[in-house]
Amino acid sequence: MGTEVGAPLIVGSGIAGLYVALRAHEQGLRPTIVTKSVLAESNTRYAQGGIAAAIGPEDTTELHRRDTVRAGAGIADLAAVQVLTSEAPQRIADLVRYGVPFDTIEGRITLGREGGHSRARILHAGGDATGLQIEETLRARVLDAGVEARELCVLRALRPAPDRTVTAVLSREDGSQAEEIAGRQVVLATGGTGSLYRLSSNPITATGEGVAIAFRGGALVTDMEFVQFHPTVFAQEGAPRFLITEALRGEGAVLRNRAGEQFMKRYHPAAELATRDIVSRAIHQEMRRTGDPYVFLDATAIPRDRLFARFPSICRFLAGYGLDPSRDLIPVSPMAHYMIGGVATDLEGRTSLPGLWACGEVASTGVHGANRLASNSLLEGVVFGERVARQLAQPTAGGPRDAPRMLPIELPPGHGEDERYATFSEVGALLWDDVGIVRNRKGMETAVNRLEYWRDRSEPPTSLDLASPSANAALTALLIARAALSREESRGAHFRSDFPRPSPRWKYQQGLRRVRH
Q: Are 439 and 495 in contact (CB under 8 A)?
A: yes
Provide the CB-side half-sphere exposure for 489 (13 A, CA). Answer: 15
Q: Are 287 and 105 in contact (CB under 8 A)?
A: no
CA–CA gap between residue 417 and residue 404 (Å, rounded): 35
Radius of gyration of the chain (CA): 22
Residue 1 above 50 pLDDT? no
pLDDT at 163: 85
Position 379 confidence tier, pLDDT thresholds 50, 70, 90 = very high
Helical axes 424-434 vs 441-458, angle rounded to 10° = 160
Mean pLDDT confidence for 500-516: 94
Give residue-wise pLDDT tens across range 90-116: 999 999 999 999 999 988 999 988 878
Instruction: List C-alpha distances in Å: 487 to 104, 148, 507.
Output: 44, 43, 10
Percentage, residues of the chain above pLDDT 70: 95
Residue 15 above 90 pLDDT? yes
Percentage, residues of the chain above pLDDT 90: 77
Question: Domain-by-domain residue ranges, the chain?
Answer: 9-174+340-393, 231-334
With b meaning 16 or more CB within 10 Å and e meaning fewer, what string describes 39-61?
bebbbbbbbbbbbbbbbbeebeb
Q: Residue 226: helix, strand or coil by DSSP?
A: coil
Provide the CB-side half-sphere exposure for 404 (13 A, CA). Answer: 9
CA–CA gap between residue 508 and residue 365 (Å, rounded): 14
Position 48 confidence tier, pLDDT thresholds 50, 70, 90 = low
Q: Which residues are catalytic?
A: 276
CA–CA gap between residue 403 and residue 466 (Å, rounded): 29
CA–CA gap between residue 211 and residue 363 (Å, rounded): 8
pLDDT at 45: 61
Mean pLDDT confidence for 406-418: 82
Residue 127 above 60 pLDDT? yes
Mean pLDDT confidence for 390-400: 94
Give residue-wise pLDDT tens across range 243-290: 998 889 989 999 999 999 999 999 999 999 888 889 999 999 999 999
pLDDT at 2: 39
pLDDT at 205: 81
Position 422 confidence tier, pLDDT thresholds 50, 70, 90 = low
Mean pLDDT confidence for 307-317: 92
CATH T-level assignment (fold) for domain 9-174+340-393:
FAD/NAD(P)-binding domain (3.50.50)
Torsion of CA 54, 57, 58, 62, to 10 degrees: 40
Mean pLDDT taken over the chain: 92
CATH T-level assignment (fold) for domain 231-334:
Flavocytochrome C3; Chain A, domain 1 (3.90.700)
